[in-house]
Amino acid sequence: MATRGAKPKPIEQHRKAGTFRPDRHGTALAVVEPVEVRPYEVSALDAFDTVLDVGVSWLARTDVPALVILRTMLEERDPLRADAMAGSTEARKHLRDLDKQIIGLLGNLGFDPASRSRLGLAEVKTQSKLADLQSRQARR
C-alpha cells in the first residue's frame, strides 16, 4: 500500500529549524554527537580528519575507497578555493563543481541528517505506548 503525503522530515532537520516538538515528533535521543568546527578557521581536510578521528560508527571497510576519493577531493579543494578567492573565475567554476561532487559523496557516506536517518543512525526512538503495553502483556 502506498503512503500518502510528503515524506516526514528527519528529527535533526526539525531541531535545526527550531520546529522540533517532543509531543509531535517523539522524545528521541541523538546518537551522533556534533563536532564543533568553525568554518574558515579550519580547512575542509582538517575538519574531515577531525570527524574521522572522533569515530564514525556506521562506516565499514567497504567504504574505504569512497573515503579515499573524498579525502583526495578535499585535498584538491583548498588550493582551488585559494585560486577562486584570488579572482579566478575558472577556479570558481571548478570549485563549485567539486563542491557538488563532495556534497554528493558526503551524503552517500551518511554525513548529512537525511542520509543518517535513512541509515537509522540519527535518532533512537523511544518505545511507543502501544509497544510498551504489548511487551508488558507478553511478559505476563
Report pTM.
Answer: 0.55
Q: With beta carbons less than 8 A apart as the criterion, state whether 127 and 134 touch.
A: no
Helix (H) or strand (E) holding 123: strand 123-124
Write down the domain spans for the chain. Answer: 40-121
pLDDT of residue 30: 45
pLDDT of residue 31: 47
pLDDT of residue 2: 60
> CA neighbours within 13 Å on the CB side: how many for 87?
0
C-alpha angle 133/135/137, rounded to 5°?
A: 70
What is the per-residue pLDDT across 24-59, written as a single tens digit (0 to 9) for each?
766 654 445 555 655 556 677 887 887 777 767 777
Strands in the chain per DSSP E: 29-30, 123-124
Q: With beta carbons less than 8 A apart as the criterion, state whether 105 and 12 touch.
A: no
Cα 26 from Cα 33, distance rounded (Å): 19
Cα 94 from Cα 111, distance rounded (Å): 23
pLDDT of residue 92: 93
Q: In whole angstroms, how far apart are CA 23 and each of 27, 40, 113, 138?
A: 8, 38, 21, 27
Could you say which residues of the chain have pLDDT below 50?
A: 29-31, 124
pLDDT of residue 26: 67
Cα 132 from Cα 16, distance rounded (Å): 30
